[in-house]
Chains A and B, each alone.
Chain A
Amino acid sequence: MTDTTTSGRHARQDKHTVALMGNPNTGKSSLFSALTGTRQKVANFPGVTVEAKIGTARFENSEITVIDLPGTYSLSARSPDERVATEALLGRIEGTPKPDGVVVVLDASSLDRNLYLGTQVLEFGLPAVIALTMMDVAETRGITVDAKKLSETLGVPVVVVNAPKGRGLDELKATLHRTLHHPGKALELSYPEDFSRGVDTLHVNLCDLGVELGFKPTRPEALRLLVDGAGPFFEECEEVGGEAWTKQFFEIRELAGAGRSLSMVEAQTRYGAIGGWMRDVKQTETREGRTKTDVVDGILTHKLWGSLVFILAMGVIFQSIYSWSGPLMDAIDGGFSALGSWVGGMLSDGALKSLIVDGIIPGVGGVLIFLPQILILFLFIAVLEDLGYMARAAFLMDRLMSRFGLNGRSFIPMLSGFACAVPAIMGTRVIEDRNTRLTTIFLTPFMSCSARLPVYVLFIAAFVPEMKVLGFIELQGLVLFAMYWVGVLAAIPTALVLKKGILKSKATPFLLELPSYKAPRIKAVGRTLIDRGGSFIKRAGTIILAVSILVWAAGYFPHSQAVDDQYDAEVATAEAPYDEATVEFDPESADPSALLPFYEVDSAHEARVAAFEEELQDEAELETAIAESKKQRNAEMAKLAAESRDATQALNDYAAWKDLNDARAEIENQRAGHHLENSLLGRAGHLIEPAVKPLGWDWRIGMAAIASFPAREVIVATLGTIFNLGGDQDEESDSLREVVKDAKRADGTPLFTLATGLSIMVFFALCAQCAATLAVMRRETNSWKWPVASFLYMTTLAYLAALVTYQVAHALGA
């Protein structure tokens, strides 16, 4: 405890550090956010908080640093997250302040079970306050908890809090402030005599090792070590004390147990004490029959009905991603397109204009256009999480996963891998068994993270027709749903091979807490959307922007003057047969021209055709509509031409201008293509082309895929930049979806077909294209072996799967 006195008579300020401890799903993270104002994700999965989070709460003149420790069920030293909690509680984590006190968060609706950890923490003897949460949930279950009696029984102040509604927070802070100044004493439980003697002997033994360990172990720590007989602390002592210590340790254990399991002795003592206390503290109203929650759980976790609900829920998500995002995507697309035209009009031709118009705007804009889809995906995930559905889905999937040799705990990080593999891999710390943890880390990157979504959406929108299956299911949404299964299907045999081979381990029981159902909180869902949307925009504005600039530079330089001269000469030759009025006509120019009325009539016709193509699905209907529009255009032009001889001449000049304009556009495309082929990017691309050709890709797709190895969504930005530089983007087709549809190979055949699109999507579904994932894999496994193996395995698998996909689809005529 530190008292800091500043100058001034009344400016004395206290500074304290307290730790927040509790089981998962007790509302601990919500309490942390409410106390500190720090924004933090509250999820329904046990073990989401795998790292200690720190914030600051204020009370009168006090500043309280609050450390939010991982949610755990006990302080057992077996799993890394539980050890982190104990280490942090004792102030032995570098860079994390030592707590002066602790707030033990207990869920009133599961008080007995919560007190198991609670008693372990209170034994450490730190000044403590109990925050009793979920009183409302307890009431709905007919449970009444007497907070005053609980406080008297444990000898620790108890405050009832409801963090989401802001109730009890001031009282908690005030109680905490008082307790830190007037601490109580450690909780003492009555263990059997042999057990207590064993703890004392081991404590003395550990104190002897203290100098080499670098800290003085406490008695509760000795108790933990005695019972657990494994874990990082045991390994540390074994290393320091050597064989002699290990031998002595097991002798102490044997004597302490007196023929019984030590875990059993501990559990019996704790639950025995808790059971006794509960008789006075807790009243449970006996209710006949099943509660509403039981009925709903019966359906959602049922093998058949639960699976159907799960498939339905996922189906709705993927359908909505397509159905709802259209207008927003078009608005963003239109915005960037207008920005490109405006900036293009402001700058004179040259490298700077190309950098902005061909590099930055299509690169960043091409990625940002997928913001609506990302928001819709996370809207559903946040609502389902908040509702309490995700834990039921995990329970349901656990049955399936256990058939493939995976521990049920593996499914939780893998499920969060659908959002992002980085926190998912960090979440594997809750898995006790090393081999299962390594298998889960290896499999998590196969889950389709949100960065893959733009890639799927782009190619599905370009190649899968907008049609309905069975009259109500969007085909595009169905294909997107299928793409999410590609990674899962690849993970299953991989899991089987790993779990039956090098990472074999015994099956361990899976305990999953099913949180109570809650109405989604608008604020929490909104916060998730702002966080996720913000991250996506930030990525577009930082790494995507940087890569777009670098790809542009590699695609623009060296920029040969000789190539420009050659195409300038070709333009001059194309213009030579036409008169001046035709050559000089510019619809954007302010100068009056007799050709302009004809241009306007023609433009109106083109706008109508574009609208028909967007609206009409039926081929015959579309043809009729276009023919009608053409008839209207010809009639209007004939009417204009009939006005005078000059007008007739203007119509002829306009027709000539259209031919010339097409010729000039073709030359400009060739010029851009030539520059791109000559560039650094083009030269490197041609070197790798033989390797990607069997996948149906040309060098441009190959280079975009290579540029995407640090972060997979970069492909969208890179393709946008490459096609702009290469002249594949004309004035009308300004969206990347359209460009992808229209892009041609050197021989004039379409570059992207359905087979190419599928091959790219399968490659991206399976390839290890995320540097952050590989880095965190290295850190969590403490070895380069796993990230290297993951990278090689996933990339090879992705290549082979894309190869088979393309070759089969191509053979089938796709």
Chain B
Amino acid sequence: MLETVVIIAIVTAAAAFAGWRAWQTLRVAKGAKACGGCEKCE
């Protein structure tokens, strides 16, 4: 049971992070972020 909860938490966190990165990339595209969205200025 605990293992299932841990797995769900880790996978959800990874999905949320990937989603956040996608959103950040879209902000770059729309010009809301001054940087180019490369890893240097994350």
Q: Residues on A close to B: CB < 8 A?
A: 51, 95, 350-352, 355, 420, 422-423, 425-426, 531, 535, 538-539, 542-543, 545-547, 549-550, 553, 710, 771-772, 774-776, 778-779, 782, 787
Instruction: List the 3 shortest-distance A-B pairs measured between CB atoms, nearest first.
Output: A549-B14, A422-B36, A775-B29
Given contacts A351-B7, A538-B42, A549-B14, A51 and B26 within 8 Å (CB-CB): no
B29→A779 contact, CB < 8 A: yes
Please give 7 more A-B residue pairs, beta carbons under 8 A apart, in addition to A549-B11, A550-B14: A51-B35, A351-B3, A425-B36, A531-B40, A549-B10, A710-B21, A775-B36
A776–B39 alpha-carbon span in the complex (Å): 13
Given contacts A350-B3, A549-B10, A422 and B38 within 8 Å (CB-CB): yes
Given contacts A422-B37, A423-B38, A352 and B28 within 8 Å (CB-CB): no
A550→B15 contact, CB < 8 A: yes
User: Per a CB cutoff under 8 Å, which of A531, A543, A772 touches B28?
Assistant: A772
Q: Which residue of A423, A710, A771 has the most chain B CB atoms within 10 A of its CB atom?
A: A771
A779→B30 contact, CB < 8 A: yes
Given contacts A549-B11, A550-B15, A550-B18, A778 and B39 within 8 Å (CB-CB): no
Question: What per-residue 1/0 map shows which CB atoms of B1-37 lie under 8 Å from chain A?
Answer: 0011011001100110110011001101111001111
Given contacts A775-B25, A775-B26, A538 and B39 within 8 Å (CB-CB): yes
A352→B3 contact, CB < 8 A: yes
Task: Specify which chain A residues have a CB less than 8 angstroms from the CB of B11 in the assembled complex.
Answer: 549-550, 553
Task: Specify which chain A residues have a CB less than 8 angstroms from the CB of B35 in the assembled complex.
Answer: 51
Interface bin, chain B: 20 to 34
A771→B22 contact, CB < 8 A: yes
| Count of A-B residue pairs with CB < 8 Å | 80
A770–B24 alpha-carbon span in the complex (Å): 14
A775–B35 alpha-carbon span in the complex (Å): 11
Task: Specify which chain A residues have a CB less than 8 angstroms from the CB of B36 in the assembled complex.
Answer: 422-423, 425-426, 772, 775-776
Given contacts A553-B11, A775-B25, A546 and B18 within 8 Å (CB-CB): yes
In the assembled complex, the CB of B28 is this many whole angstroms from the nearest CB of chain A, namely 4
Task: Specify which chain B residues have a CB less than 8 angstroms from the CB of A355 in the assembled complex.
Answer: 7, 10
Task: Specify which chain B residues have a CB less than 8 angstroms from the CB of A547 in the assembled complex.
Answer: 14, 18
User: Per a CB cutoff under 8 Å, which of B17, B25, B30 touches A771?
Assistant: B25
User: Per a CB cutoff under 8 Å, which of B25, B29, B38 touches A420?
Assistant: B38
Would you mind naming 14 contact pairs between A and B with Cβ atoms under 8 Å apart? A352-B6, A423-B40, A539-B39, A542-B21, A543-B17, A546-B14, A549-B11, A550-B15, A553-B7, A553-B14, A710-B22, A772-B28, A775-B29, A779-B30
Instruction: Tell me if A's interface is mostly helix, strand, loop or mixed.
Output: helix
Task: Specify which chain B residues have a CB less than 8 angstroms from the CB of A423 in the assembled complex.
Answer: 36, 38, 40
A191–B28 alpha-carbon span in the complex (Å): 44
Task: Specify which chain B residues have a CB less than 8 angstroms from the CB of A550 in the assembled complex.
Answer: 11, 14-15, 18
Closest B residue to A778 using CB positions:
B29
In the assembled complex, the CB of B21 is this many whole angstroms from the nearest CB of chain A, namely 6
A320–B22 alpha-carbon span in the complex (Å): 36
A423–B34 alpha-carbon span in the complex (Å): 12
A776–B24 alpha-carbon span in the complex (Å): 12
User: Per a CB cutoff under 8 Å, which of B10, B17, B28, B39 touches A775?
Assistant: B28
B18→A776 contact, CB < 8 A: no
A545–B13 alpha-carbon span in the complex (Å): 11
Closest A residue to B26 using CB positions:
A775
Q: Which residue of B22, B30, B35 has the most chain A CB atoms within 10 A of its CB atom?
A: B35
Task: Specify which chain A residues have a CB less than 8 angstroms from the CB of B31 in the assembled complex.
Answer: 779, 782
A776→B37 contact, CB < 8 A: yes
B7→A772 contact, CB < 8 A: no
Task: Specify which chain B residues have a CB less than 8 angstroms from the CB of A422 in the assembled complex.
Answer: 36-38
In the assembled complex, the CB of A770 is this many whole angstroms from the nearest CB of chain B, namely 9
In the assembled complex, the CB of A422 is this many whole angstroms from the nearest CB of chain B, namely 4
In the assembled complex, the CB of B25 is this many whole angstroms from the nearest CB of chain A, namely 5
A426–B33 alpha-carbon span in the complex (Å): 13
A774–B25 alpha-carbon span in the complex (Å): 9
A772–B17 alpha-carbon span in the complex (Å): 16
In the assembled complex, the CB of A51 is this many whole angstroms from the nearest CB of chain B, namely 6
Task: Specify which chain A residues have a CB less than 8 angstroms from the CB of B34 in the assembled complex.
Answer: 51, 95
Task: Specify which chain A residues have a CB less than 8 angstroms from the CB of B4 in the assembled complex.
Answer: 351
A420–B37 alpha-carbon span in the complex (Å): 11
A106–B13 alpha-carbon span in the complex (Å): 51
Task: Specify which chain A residues have a CB less than 8 angstroms from the CB of B10 in the assembled complex.
Answer: 355, 549
Task: Specify which chain A residues have a CB less than 8 angstroms from the CB of B42 in the assembled complex.
Answer: 538, 542
A531–B41 alpha-carbon span in the complex (Å): 11
A542–B18 alpha-carbon span in the complex (Å): 9
Task: Specify which chain A residues have a CB less than 8 angstroms from the CB of B40 in the assembled complex.
Answer: 423, 531, 535
Closest A residue to B6 using CB positions:
A352
Task: Specify which chain A residues have a CB less than 8 angstroms from the CB of B17 in the assembled complex.
Answer: 542-543, 546
A772–B22 alpha-carbon span in the complex (Å): 9
In the assembled complex, the CB of A261 is this many whole angstroms from the nearest CB of chain B, namely 36
In the assembled complex, the CB of B17 is this many whole angstroms from the nearest CB of chain A, namely 5
A543→B7 contact, CB < 8 A: no
A774–B28 alpha-carbon span in the complex (Å): 10
A124–B36 alpha-carbon span in the complex (Å): 31
Task: Specify which chain B residues have a CB less than 8 angstroms from the CB of A774 in the assembled complex.
Answer: 29
In the assembled complex, the CB of B23 is this many whole angstroms from the nearest CB of chain A, namely 11
Task: Specify which chain A residues have a CB less than 8 angstroms from the CB of B21 in the assembled complex.
Answer: 542-543, 546, 710
A535→B28 contact, CB < 8 A: no
Closest A residue to B38 using CB positions:
A422
Task: Specify which chain B residues have a CB less than 8 angstroms from the CB of A351 in the assembled complex.
Answer: 3-4, 7
Task: Specify which chain B residues have a CB less than 8 angstroms from the CB of A425 in the assembled complex.
Answer: 36
Task: Specify which chain B residues have a CB less than 8 angstroms from the CB of A779 in the assembled complex.
Answer: 28-31
Closest A residue to B19 using CB positions:
A546
User: Per a CB cutoff under 8 Å, which of A420, A531, A535, A543 touches B18?
Assistant: A543
A771–B11 alpha-carbon span in the complex (Å): 22
A581–B23 alpha-carbon span in the complex (Å): 59
A413–B29 alpha-carbon span in the complex (Å): 19
In the assembled complex, the CB of B33 is this many whole angstroms from the nearest CB of chain A, namely 9
B37→A775 contact, CB < 8 A: yes
Q: Which residue of A425, A538, A778 has the most chain B CB atoms within 10 A of its CB atom?
A: A778
In the assembled complex, the CB of B41 is this many whole angstroms from the nearest CB of chain A, namely 10
A538–B21 alpha-carbon span in the complex (Å): 14
A545–B15 alpha-carbon span in the complex (Å): 11
In the assembled complex, the CB of A550 is this many whole angstroms from the nearest CB of chain B, namely 5
A776–B28 alpha-carbon span in the complex (Å): 6
